[in-house]
């Protein structure tokens, strides 16, 4: 505990990452190496996830995103998939029971992904856990279940397409990078990406959000991941912080210049600059109102989705 406090105080003197993403790989290999049932490996992995959340919370990290279950994982043996769904039921039910503790810590849970393949009981429990913490305003825990980054990008495209062609809330000219990101499951860019088990690939996890993050690929299996690994990763991030911020700022400036040059409302004519300026201002005001209405609409649709999930299966309360 003494070493933990000392190391935490050292890190708190540097830049604290806002958003950490984790690919929790190696549960099955851990089980095989220790002559355990695969299910025990997954259970140990969940415990490690909760430990990391606690370390990050103490350090001051605001967002943690964990890759809990890929859409591709549904191709695993049915027995293993069924167990993973049951493990999710058990652990999220525990979170619901301890929601008062999460409330005290200010932790809010979000579950993101394509929920259509998930069993009704699991969907109901996930929704209840989300609703139990929805008013907490501290750290955010994003749990990616039935998720891939490609599906997330398609999800954003479908939302925008529907907003233009079906709901008529926005026009195609309203769509830019910022609005596209607002339609994604996870809107915030990553500062740190962690993958365990020695694999050097992203496995379709947060491809859009990880462009300028500090990526870390560790050989340790996920259940063996410790605070010392976490300390080392955050220390590396702090060492590279100035370089990373410079890259991000350069990209932001480049994107803003491109957007300005591609703006159809920009005019090279000086003779009508006053009237053009007024028209541009009016159009931008209208666009802002359309975008605000659209974003409020999709927020209400998300709330409706979780309401339907919560009541899709009768749970004992």
For the stretch 161-213, pLDDT in tens is 999 999 999 999 999 999 999 999 999 999 999 999 999 999 999 999 999 99
Question: ∠ at Cα 128 (126, 132), nearest 5°?
Answer: 120
Check residue 243 and give its pLDDT.
83
Check residue 262 and give its pLDDT.
62
131 in a domain, yes or no?
yes
pTM of the entire predicted model: 0.88
167 in a domain, yes or no?
no
**CATH code (residue 101):** 3.40.1180.10
How many domains is the chain built from?
Answer: 1
Range of the domain at 243: 1-150+186-258
Condensed to tens digits (0 to 9), the pLDDT of residues 211-237 reads 999 999 999 999 999 999 999 999 999
Which whole number is the average pLDDT over 272-288?
76
Q: Is 216 within 8 Å of 192 (Cβ atoms)?
A: yes
265 in a domain, yes or no?
no
165 in a domain, yes or no?
no
111 in a domain, yes or no?
yes
pLDDT-derived band of residue 273, with 50, 70 and 90 as boundaries? low
287 in a domain, yes or no?
no
Q: Tokens 């410790």 identify what position?
A: 226
204 in a domain, yes or no?
yes
Condensed to tens digits (0 to 9), the pLDDT of residues 158-172 reads 999 999 999 999 999
Condensed to tens digits (0 to 9), the pLDDT of residues 85-126 reads 999 999 999 889 988 888 888 899 999 999 999 999 999 999
66 in a domain, yes or no?
yes
């Amino acid at each position: 505990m003494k070493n933990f406090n000392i190391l935490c105080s050292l890190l708190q003197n540097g830049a604290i990452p806002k958003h950490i993403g984790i690919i929790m790989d190696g549960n099955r290999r851990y089980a095989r190496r220790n002559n355990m049932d695969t299910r025990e490996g997954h259970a140990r992995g969940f415990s490690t996830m909760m430990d990391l959340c606690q370390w990050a919370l103490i350090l001051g990290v605001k967002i943690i995103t964990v890759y809990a279950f890929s859409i591709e994982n549904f191709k695993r043996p049915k027995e293993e998939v069924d167990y993973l769904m049951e493990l999710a039921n058990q652990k999220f039910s525990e979170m619901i029971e301890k929601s008062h503790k999460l409330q005290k810590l200010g932790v809010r849970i979000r579950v993101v992904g394509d929920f259509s393949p998930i069993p009704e009981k699991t969907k109901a429990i996930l929704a209840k856990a989300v609703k139990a913490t929805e008013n907490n305003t501290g750290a955010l825990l994003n749990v990616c279940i039935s998720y891939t980054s490609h599906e997330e990008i398609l999800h954003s495209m479908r939302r925008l397409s529907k907003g233009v062609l079906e709901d008529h809330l926005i026009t195609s000219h309203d769509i830019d990078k910022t609005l596209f990101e607002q339609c994604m499951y996870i809107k915030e860019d990553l500062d740190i990406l962690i993958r365990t088990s020695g694999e050097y690939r992203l496995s379709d996890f947060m491809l859009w959000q990880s462009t300028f993050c500090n990526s870390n690929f560790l050989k340790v299996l996920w259940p063996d991941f410790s605070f010392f690994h976490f300390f080392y990763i955050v220390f590396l991030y702090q060492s590279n912080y100035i370089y990373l911020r410079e890259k991000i700022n350069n990209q932001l400036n480049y994107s803003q210049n491109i957007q300005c040059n591609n703006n159809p409302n920009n005019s090279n004519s000086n003779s009508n600059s006053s009237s053009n300026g007024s028209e541009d201002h009016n159009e931008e005001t209208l666009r802002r109102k359309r975008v605000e209405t659209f974003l409020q609409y999709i927020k209400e649709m998300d709330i409706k989705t979780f309401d339907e999930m919560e009541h899709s299966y009768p749970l004992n309360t």
